[in-house]
């Protein structure tokens, strides 16, 4: 089977790769590009650990083919901090102890950022429903929701 040549943009940087036709975007990110921040919790679209955005839309990268990234804008956890400066969501997650083992954290941060881009002032209920596709087995979610609400408030003030 011949490989497919893909030209795309990841976290603002132009990227080119060859991938197999059946290879997922998650495998491309992790195995070909060394971007291991996106995690595989299931490989079937049920846990959200592999969340990235593609052209601004939140997707499970385990359900997207690497070939589909052609010409797209992909954003992953690796692009969230600007240099040494953490994104407000990242800071608030640390401050509120909204992570334990941390394996769900990259996916949840990407999903929360996507929520706040579309709705800068979500209710707690909206935040809980938006993040319902991102499973966390450690924290019990309370502190995650609090961190998201707090980051949203800070970002509204700053803008």
Partner 1 sequence: MNAEFDPSVGTAVGRSTPKLENREKVTGRAEYIDDLYRPNMLHAAILGSPFAHARILSYDVSEALAAPGVVGVITGDDVPAGRMGAFIKDEHALAKGKVLYLGEPVAAVAAETLEQARAAVNLIRVEYLELPAVLSPEAGLAPDAPILHEALADYIKVFDAGSTGNLCSRTELTEGDVDAAWAGCAVIVEGEFTTQAQAHVAMEPCGALAEMDAQGRVTLWSANQSVFRVQANVCESLQLPMSRLRSLTPRVGGGFGNKMEAHIQPLTVALAMKTGRPVKCVLTREEDFEIVRARHPFRIRMKTGADAEGRLIARECEVLLDCGAFADDSPGVMGYALLMSGGPYRIPNQRATGKLVYTNKLRFGAYRGFGNPQVSFASEQQIDEIARKLSLDPIEMRRRNLLQPGDGWFVGPKVASNGLSACLDAVEKASAWGRKPDAKPGTRRAKGIALSAHISGLLGTGAIVRMLEDGTISLNTGATDIGQGSDTALAQICAETLKVPVEMVSVASPDTDGSPYNWGTTASRVTYTTGRAVAGAAGEVLRQAMGHAAEMLDVPVEDLELREGGRIAIRGSNTDLPFAAISGRAHWAKGGPIVGSHTLVFDEPTHDPKRAIALGLPFPRIGVFSFAATVVDVEIDEVTGQARVTEAWSAVDVGRAINPRLVDVQIEGGFIQGMGFALYEEMVWDGPKLANPSLLDYKVPTSADSPHVHSIIVEDPEPSGPFGAKGAGEIGLNPVPAAIANAVGAALGGVSHDLPLTAERLLPRIIEAEHAA
> Taking the complex as a whole, how short is the minimal distance between the CB of residue 157 and ligand FES, in angstroms?
28
> Taking contact as CB under 6 A, which single stretch among the options 8-16, 28-36, 77-85, 96-104 is the one that binds ligand FES?
96-104
Number of residues that bind partner 1 (CB under 8 A): 52
Closest among 56, 71, 76, 62 to 24, alpha carbons compared: 62
Distances in whole angstroms, Cα of residue 159 to Cα of each of 16, 40, 114, 128, 138: 35, 34, 17, 24, 33
Residue 131 touches which of partner 1, ligand FES, none (CB < 5 to 8 A by kind)?
partner 1
d(Cα 69, Cα 136) in Å, to the nearest integer? 27
7 or 97: whose CB is closer to partner 1?
97
Q: Which two tokens stand for residue 85?
A: 């400066």
Binding pattern for the stretch 69-108 against partner 1, x by CB under 8 A and - elsewhere: -------xxx-xx----x---x--xxx-x-xxxxxxxx--
**Total residues found in the chain within this entry:** 159
Among 4, 9, 15, 43, which residue interacts with partner 1 (rule: CB under 8 A)?
43
> Taking contact as CB under 6 A, which single stretch among the options 13-21, 34-42, 113-121, 150-158 is the one that binds ligand FES?
34-42
Distances in whole angstroms, Cα of residue 82 to Cα of each of 1, 11, 72: 39, 11, 21
Residue 24 touches which of ligand FES, partner 1, none (CB < 5 to 8 A by kind)?
none
Closest among 55, 56, 152, 74 to 112, alpha carbons compared: 152
Specify the DSSP class assigned to residue 41: S
Positions touching ligand FES (CB under 6 A) are 40-43, 45-50, 60, 62, 99-104, 136-139
């Amino acid at each position: 089977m011949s490989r497919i040549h893909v030209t795309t943009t990841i976290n603002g940087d132009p990227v080119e790769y060859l991938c197999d036709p059946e290879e997922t975007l998650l495998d491309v990110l992790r195995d070909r590009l060394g971007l291991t921040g996106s995690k595989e919790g299931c490989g079937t679209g049920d846990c959200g650990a592999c969340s990235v955005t593609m052209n601004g839309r939140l997707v499970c990268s385990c359900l997207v083919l690497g070939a589909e990234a052609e010409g797209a804008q992909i954003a992953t956890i690796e692009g969230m901090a600007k240099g040494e400066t953490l994104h407000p969501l990242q800071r608030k997650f640390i401050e509120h102890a909204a992570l334990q083992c941390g394996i769900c954290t990259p996916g949840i941060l990407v999903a929360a950022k996507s929520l706040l881009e579309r709705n800068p002032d979500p209710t707690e209920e909206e935040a809980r429903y938006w993040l319902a596709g991102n499973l966390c087995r450690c924290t019990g979610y309370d502190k995650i929701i609090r961190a998201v609400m707090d980051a949203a408030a800070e970002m509204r003030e700053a803008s």
